[in-house]
């Protein structure tokens, strides 16, 4: 099995849990914690996530604090299983560095409005399959 | 895409100037910023007074635009919300018929504003408002799902979008 420098296998298995850092409180409903589709939308056909299973909760929050711009904070984490990503017709591929980083890929390419609409549909599916972990 | 973090020290000023658009005619940057800030705050206050709950939502959009006013505001290489997106979103919300529940709002990585009706976990109608008059929208309602594009003429809510919203309201 191909291994990465982080020690994780190169292939992201269906059972793995993926963490998407929510850098705005507007990316989830405050009342019931539903994740909004925008949390999974992308700018360059890749949605950045971290492979959560081997990361302790405290370390996970620390990773988030490292990637966020100075002066901002992480408001929550959307957790989704890799199987759920693939069920939506997308895929997850490891992309290191940084360690344990991966991208959700397979989005419809191109910047036309109809392609964006298609990607919104996929983002809704991801959002509906995700669980919110609020900042302690 | 993973982007290393960058400082955002000028986010508020930059955002206000961007949102104010071409209304500031002075060449003095400090005065421009002051005028932009005054204009936007006045705009938000007027909206709240004139449009009730819609005014509150417009104020929320203003705060969101302020929060997302610089490149890479989130560390994921996201674009800032533009003045045009802000204005179009406000126009759209003012045109929503009375009795329609107001949406949740969020910012998208391309600088668009997303209006989301999410009455339950498995029912979502999501509409993107960006810099053009073409709106991308999509919905998932259990096993029923789809996506489409509609043109906004700034006079009325496109009928297909209105029907969609009503199904999820």
Judge contact between A103 and B76, C-beta under 8 A.
no
Contact between B116 and A36 under an 8 Å Cβ cutoff? The reply is yes
Q: Are A11 and A2 in contact (CB under 8 A)?
A: yes
Q: For the segment B7-31, what is each residue's pLDDT rounded down to a tens digit?
A: 333 333 343 444 444 333 334 545 5
**Structural domain for B76, as ranges:** 11-168
Higher pLDDT, B52 or A82: A82
Looking at every residue in chain A, the average pLDDT score rounds to 93
**A72 and B CB contact within 8 Å:** yes
Of A91 and B4, more confident: A91
- Of the two residues B45 and B157, the one the predictor is more confident about is B157
Q: Read off the pLDDT of residues A26-44 as tens digits, 9 standing for 90 and up.
A: 999 999 999 999 999 998 8
Output DSSP code: residue A65: H
What does the alpha-carbon distance between residue B148 and residue B85 come to, in Å, rounded to a whole number?
19
Q: Is the model's pLDDT at B43 over the cut of 80?
A: no
- Residue B22 within a domain: yes
**Which residue from B125, B133, B127, B134 is spatially nearest to B166, judged by alpha carbons?**
B125
Asked if the Cβ–Cβ distance from A23 to B74 is below 8 Å, we say yes
Taking only the tens place, the pLDDT of each residue in A57-92 is 888 898 888 888 888 889 999 999 999 999 999 999
Report if residue B1 sits inside a domain: no
Give the residue-averaged pLDDT of A111-128. Answer: 97
- Helices assigned H by DSSP within chain B: 11-20, 29-67, 83-95, 159-168
Is B90 inside a domain boundary? Answer: yes
In a domain, B55, yes or no: yes
Ramachandran region, residue B72 (left: φ > 0; alpha: ψ -120 to 50; beta: rest): left
User: pLDDT digits over B152-163, tens only?
Assistant: 999 999 999 999
Residue A13 forms contact with B (CB below 8 Å): no
Question: CB–CB of B107 and A26 under 8 A?
Answer: yes
Look up the pTM and report it: 0.85
d(CA A103, CA B15): 29
- Count of the separate structural domains present in chain B: 1
- Return the SS3 of A58: helix
Strand ranges in chain A using DSSP code E only, listed in sequence order: 17-22, 47-51, 76-81, 91-94, 101-105, 131-134
Is B6 a domain residue?
no
User: For residue B27, what are its two tokens?
Assistant: 């060449």
What is the per-residue pLDDT for B18? 41
Largest CA distance in chain A: 44
Fill in the DSSP letter of residue A79: E
Mean pLDDT across the stretch A4-24? 94
Cβ-nearest to B75 among A23, A27, A120:
A23
By the CB < 8 Å criterion, does A39 face chain B?
A: yes
- List CB contacts (< 8 A) between A101 and chain B: 2
Q: Is the ipTM of this complex over 0.90?
A: yes
Query: What pLDDT sits at residue B5?
Result: 41
Say if A48 is an interface residue toward chain B (CB within 8 Å): yes
pLDDT of residue A95: 95
Kindly indicate the confidence band of residue A54, based on its pLDDT and cuts at 50, 70 and 90.
confident
Mean pLDDT of chain B: 81
Q: Is residue A69 part of a domain?
A: yes
Q: Out of B75, B116, B137, whose CB is closest to A69?
A: B75
User: How many inter-chain contacts (A to B, CB under 8 Å) are there?
Assistant: 143
pLDDT of res. A136: 79
The alpha-carbon gap from A14 to the nearest alpha carbon of chain B, in Å, equals: 21
pLDDT value at position B21? 41
Mean pLDDT for B121-145 is 97
Q: What is the pLDDT at residue B30? A: 53
CB A11 within 8 A of CB A101: no
The whole domain housing A82 covers 17-134
**Position B44 pLDDT exceeds 70:** no
Q: Where are the alpha helices (DSSP H) in A27-135?
A: 57-67, 82-87, 113-129
pLDDT confidence of residue B52: 82
* Confidence at residue A58, expressed as pLDDT on a 0 to 100 scale: 82
| Section B131-149 average pLDDT | 97
Residues of B in contact with A116 (CB under 8 A): 110, 128, 136
Number of structural domains in chain A = 1
Kindly state whether residue A11 falls inside one of the protein's structural domains. Answer: no
């Amino acid at each position: 099995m191909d291994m990465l420098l982080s020690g994780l296998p190169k292939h992201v298995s269906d059972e793995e849990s993926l963490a998407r850092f929510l850098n705005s409180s507007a990316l989830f409903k405050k009342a019931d914690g539903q994740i909004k589709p925008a949390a999974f939308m992308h700018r360059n056909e890749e949605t950045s996530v971290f492979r959560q299973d081997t990361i302790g909760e405290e370390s996970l929050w620390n990773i988030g604090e490292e990637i966020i711009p100075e002066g901002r904070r992480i408001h929550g984490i959307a957790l989704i299983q890799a199987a759920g990503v693939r069920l939506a017709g997308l895929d997850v591929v490891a992309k290191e560095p940084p360690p344990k980083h991966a991208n959700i890929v397979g989005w419809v390419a191109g910047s036309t409005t109809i392609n964006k609409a298609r990607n919104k549909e996929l983002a809704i599916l991801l959002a509906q399959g995700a669980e919110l972990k609020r900042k302690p | 895409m993973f982007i290393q973090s960058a400082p955002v020290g000028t986010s508020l000023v930059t955002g206000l100037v961007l949102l104010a658009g071409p209304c500031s005619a002075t060449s003095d940057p400090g005065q421009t910023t002051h005028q932009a800030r005054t204009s936007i705050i006045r705009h938000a206050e007027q909206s709240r007074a004139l449009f009730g709950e819609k005014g509150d939502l417009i104020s929320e959009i203003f705060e969101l635009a302020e929060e997302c006013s610089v490149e890479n505001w989130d560390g994921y290489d996201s674009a800032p919300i533009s003045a045009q997106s802000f204005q179009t979103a406000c126009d759209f919300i003012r045109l929503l018929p009375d009795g329609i529940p107001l949406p949740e709002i969020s910012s998208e990585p391309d600088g668009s504003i997303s209006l989301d009706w999410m009455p339950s976990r498995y029912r979502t109608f999501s509409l993107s408002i960006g810099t053009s008059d073409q709106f991308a929208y999509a919905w998932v309602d259990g096993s029923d799902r789809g996506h489409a594009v509609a043109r906004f003429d700034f006079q009325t809510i496109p009928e297909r979008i209105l029907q969609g919203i009503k199904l999820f309201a």
